[in-house]
Structures are given as structure tokens and as C-alpha cells.
Chains A and B, each alone.
Chain A
């Protein structure tokens, strides 16, 4: 019998027992949908991390003080700047503040930094200019707005040169940055950059920095620069040879590689768990097919009496199981893609439709149909026509 005839038989059968077919497929639908959705989410996360890597800045090292340490100072920043291979250093003194203009206000991050910040953290200026050395050194009350802040305050290009208040204190807007956008749960555009001296003077007591960003000239020098910074800071902080560092240097690309591999492992793990439900779905199909063989014993006897060979019966029941599993797989793929698209939308990353995932899911459901369909089909094919015809 041709595959087309077998499919026609199988679909005819499904039509006569729609509810049973639907319930049988449900296991495979859920299994395939969860595999597709979880792998989709995993891929979305990975793509998101990769795009953030590019947006973080070139060859970025970030230095943070360890808990309980004296912290980092602007003098440390000056010392780091003198190290060979360091392209730029930006101190970051972060706090929060309320920015207001007219009747509108928004609460945002306030970052005290210098002219190097835009380069180190890879921000582009959309309108106006970034902080310059003279404005920073002279502690002028000037502010560069992140694009989200500008949007929240209803400011456009004409706002450059106008005044805003930060926690009541007037600042002149000298620039608005280009949105980096779209990188997930933390918005890099929801911040205001002002000279570091201004933050120290008006907003934060003390002179310790929470973060120092360092841009290294080339990627090959990352390790040596990291070592040089460590040596310099240890010397400056007067640490004994046996003492631990009182700061930590994070290589962002390394961090993200780690995060990426964790995301990958997690997706694999979740996919593995989901594929268990696929197996359960397969067992459901086998169960129903075995029941079906028993119920249709007489039908099998009739078919054999009118000329069906054992392999015709085998093919008929196998194709029925395959139809169930592949149909369930297709529905599951559509459902899984819809779910991962929904999650991508909620999380704000772009939805990636991977043909590989679709193909693999389809192959999987095909395999489930074959693996769990063969045995019942063999049972059907092996029936003796005489006793099958007598079956009540």
C-alpha cells in the first residue's frame, strides 16, 4: 500500500475518534511545546547576553572594592591611568536621584564620572556633547541625560542647554546619549551622568568609588593590564604580601562567557526535563495503540481475510501512531514557538526562530511515533486471521 493510502486510512481513523486522538496527542503536544519553548528561551537569553557584550564597552575591566575595604579613590584612578596598555579610566560614583523639569520628574541613577566614561562604557552622544575634562575638573553642574531619562521628562534635541533639577539642585543639560536599548531587564539608558566631583560635593559623603571602569587598548593586553592594576592597587593600599586583594577586577567578557555557558547548560537541563514529558507522551501513544489493536482485532481479521498481508497491517498501525505523534509534534512546535515568542516579548529580547529547533522537534516526535508505535503495530500484524475473525 502506498504511503498516501496509509495516511488516508490513518486520518480517516482519527476523524472517527477525534477526542481520543486529541487526548492521545496531548502528551506529545506538551512535551514538544515545552522543549521548543525552553530551548527558545535559552537561545533568546544567549543572544541577549551576546548583544549586551557588544554594548558594554571595548575590552572593559571593572574594578570594585571588596566589602570592608577602604574602597577606591580618585587617586587610585589617576594611578591606573598611568599603567601601560590602559586606554581610558572612568571613575563611577553611583547614587540615585530625582531629575525634574517643569512639572515632570523621574527617579533615576546618578553617575558621577569623567570624560572617559562614554568611551569606556560605549555610549554615543545623540545631541550636544559628553562631559569634557574642563567641565569635569571644574565640577560644573552639568548633566548628560540617558535617552530613557530624556524621554521620561519629555525632552527632545532642543533641551540641550536648558536646565533640569536633580534633587532640587539646578543642572545644565549638555548632552543626551544615544539609546543602547533592548538589552533586557536593566535599562542602560535610565541614568544621568554628571562630573564625579559634583556627586561627591552634593550627593554622596566620602570619596570612595563603587566602581572604576578601565578600557584596555587591545584584547591581548587584558591579562597583563589586569596584573599591573592589581600590583598598583595592592601597593597603593599598602597590602602585605600575604593579604588578600581588597578589590576585585572583573573581566566583563569573561563574566558574560560564564553567564552564557550557564544559560546554555540551564536550557539543556530544562530541555532534558521537558523531553521526559515527550517520552511520557510516547508511552501514552503506545498505550492507546495497544488498546486500539485489541479493540480492532476483528477489523484486523477482516482485513487479512480480504487480502491484507501482515506488513500491510503493520504499516497501517505504525502510520496511525506516527500520524498521532507527528501531528502532536507540529501542534507542539507551534505552541512552543508562540510561548517562547511571548516570553521574548515580555523580557524585551528579540525572538529567534531557529529552524534547527523545529527540525529537531519534528524528528523527535517522529522518533517517538516509531519507537512507541512499532510494538503495538507488530502485535496487530501478528494476529492470526482465524482467531481475529472470531474475536468478539
Chain B
């Protein structure tokens, strides 16, 4: 296996809730290689969200090592963490999380704004990303003018526009009907076939079955691994 993009080494995340320590993740070790499609599956309360926050560099582990794309996360301050997110991670959320009253184009271009890309290049790259996802005729639409499936595709375009090392999708089909959900899943598979590393977080085993490897989380620990390693 090539140098993994994600390497979790005995990672724990503990929250202090008053006097009680809640162990959201316990000693989780995981490697994801380039070009893999990994699903992290588990019921609610299993630690999926914490996993997502840590993988996405929105949160830091309280114990253990996390190396993303060759960068150990523990040593980074907030600004460096923001830069790492900007460079290495594309987020796709359940509720799309598009900026309201902002055109699809500006939404997709926003991550580039924080990479100090010139306006002209931002527009060009965002337009290209939207066209790749079949949204050429929706470029100037605002989120409220788009269907759920279209909004999620805009969100995927935004995640891809920085050409990140991994695409981190948190219940991307959760708010969509079956048809639109299937389309989004197909899209993720297609992106993965084109070489993109995808980490999918879901509670739905059907959705998870699209991935080449499924990691089952239960009570903050990896319970089971299914599928084949890439």
C-alpha cells in the first residue's frame, strides 16, 4: 500500500461533560490509502460525528496521532489547521451547508477565496467544477432556487474546487429522496473511479455498501471492517 492519506494511530477523543468524561472515540486506528472509498458506518452515538470532525481537522484528538496527507495534526495551531482544511479536505454535508443568498458560482468559489486565488481564476475554476457536475445552467442560481439534489451537487463542486486530497462526505444522501440520493452516491463513486479518495460517513448500511471498505463504529470503537482494502 502506498503512503496512506489518512493515518489514525490509537486516536481517542474525550469530552468533559461536567465531572463525567465522555469517550466519543477510543483507541481508533485506521489507514486510508490514496484512491480508496471508505465508508464509516454506525448508529447514532457511535462516534461517527466525532470521527468526521477529527478527520476533517475541525477538532483535535485528545490522545493518539493523526497524520493527514503527511502532516501530523496534533502540532498545528488553529490557523495552520484552517490551511490544512483548505488544502487537503473537501467537505460534503448532510444539509449541504451552502451560503444563503449567494450564487452557486460564489459558493463554489468561496474555498478559493481563502487560498488567495485571483478573482478571475476563482470564477474559471468554480465554473469548471459546476460544469463537471452538470450544473452549467445553474451557475447564477441561489441555493433556494435549486432542488436538494442540485444543492448537494453544488456542495460537491465546492468540495472539489480546491482539488483536495480527500473528499469527506457526512451523510451526503441523508436529506435527499431515494432518486437524488442514488445520483449523489453515483457521483461519489464516479469521482472515486477517477482517483479521488472518498471517506463517507453514514448510518445507512445500504449507502455504505457502495464503498470498497466499510468500517463499523460502535461506542467509539471500530467493531468490524468489511470489504477489501484497496
Contact = CB atoms under 8 A, between A and B. Distances in A.
For chain A, which range describes its interface: under 10, 10 to 19, 20 to 34, or 35 or more residues? 20 to 34
A300 B102 CA distance: 14
Given A299-B99, A386-B53, A386-B58, A306 B83 contact: no
Interface in B29-73: 53, 56, 58-59
B24 to A, nearest CB: 12
B116 interface: yes
Contacts of B75: none
Contacts, number: 63
Contact of A302 (B59, B99, B113, B119): B99
A302 B116 contact: no
A389 B97 contact: yes
B82 to A, nearest CB: 4
A16 B106 CA distance: 14
A306 B110 contact: yes
Contact of B78 (A16, A302, A310): A310
B7 interface: no
Contacts of B82: 304, 307-310
B56 A305 contact: yes
B79 A302 contact: no
B86 interface: yes
Contacts of A304: 58, 82, 85
B112 to A, nearest CB: 9
A1 B111 contact: no
A5 interface: yes
A298 interface: yes
A312 B79 CA distance: 10
A302 B114 contact: no
Residue among A303, A309, A310 with max Cβ neighbours from chain B (10 Å): A309
Nearest to A304: B82
A201 interface: no
Given A311-B79, A312-B114, A306 B91 contact: yes
Contacts of A1: 113-114, 116
Contact of B101 (A16, A305, A310, A312): A16
A303 B110 contact: yes
A307 B116 contact: no
Interface in A273-308: 298-299, 301-308
B115 A307 contact: yes
B111 A307 contact: yes
A317 to B, nearest CB: 15
A298 B114 CA distance: 17
Given A16-B101, A386-B59, A389-B97, A306 B114 contact: yes
A385 interface: yes
Contacts of B102: 12
A305 B78 contact: no
Contacts of A306: 85-86, 91, 110-111, 114, 158
Interface string A5-40: 100000010001000000000000000000000000
List the 4 closest pairs (A to B, CB-CB), nearest first. A307-B86, A307-B114, A306-B111, A309-B82
Given A299-B99, A304-B85, A306-B91, 4 more contacts: A304-B58, A304-B82, A306-B86, A386-B58
7 contacts: A303-B110, A305-B97, A306-B85, A306-B86, A308-B114, A385-B58, A389-B58
Interface of B: 53, 56, 58-59, 78-79, 82-83, 85-87, 91, 93, 97-102, 106, 110-111, 113-116, 119, 158, 162
Interface of A: 1-2, 5, 12, 16, 298-299, 301-312, 385-386, 389
